[in-house]
Amino acid sequence: MMKMDSEDFTVAIIPPASAFYPLEGRRYTLCELISTGELTLAIGNQKSYFSTSPPSQLLLTAEWITNLGEYRLDCHVFIDEEEENKHLAKVRFMIFQRELTRLLTALINGDKEIYTYNPLLLDASIHIQYHSSHENLKQSAVVGTPRYYLKTNSTIS
């Protein structure tokens, strides 16, 4: 496992993944440690990488896929669980919307070497899917390209 640390952000590339492999099916799990607020990003080709020790909160998952021959980054944000009330889910949804630029900046900059080996990904679209048990919070959007998050948002914190 390769780690790149900064003051409040850790990236782990889980083998057999590397800085340039795999491209299709490359998966990301972005979490926040509950005790410190540190963002942790795992990159690999499996669904989930983090255990519950230390306790962390899943912020988003993402995967590179192809659609009609074009790459796109599909991101999934999980707003609530079945038992949460609608008001708390709405507050959480608004927080995710406010923090989305920071989260995507962390994800894109945490794996910026992949763009050196695969520059076509710089202009691939990023699709966000918000998942919720409340119908009015289930939404999707296209939120730009990796090039935008690499150029205009150079800091993670």
Q: Supply the CATH number for residue 121's domain.
A: 3.40.20
Q: What is the pTM of this model?
A: 0.85
Please check whether residue 137 lies inside any domain of the structure.
yes
> Each residue of 17-66: pLDDT tens digit?
888 888 888 999 999 888 888 889 999 987 655 554 466 788 899 999 99
Residue 4 scores a pLDDT above 50: no
In a domain? residue 119 = yes
Q: Report the pLDDT averaged over residues 87-104.
A: 92
In a domain, 74, yes or no: yes
Residues in the chain: 157
14 in any annotated domain: yes
Query: How many domains would you assign to the chain?
Result: 1
Cα separation, 145 vs 65, whole angstroms: 14
Tokens of 108: 């894109």
DSSP category for residue 123: G
d(CA 53, CA 123): 36
Range of the domain at 44: 2-151
156 is a domain residue: no
* Residue 110 belongs to a domain: yes
**Cα 42 to Cα 120: distance, rounded to the nearest angstrom:** 22
pLDDT tens by residue, 119-145:
999 999 999 999 998 888 999 999 999
Residue 157 lies in a domain: no
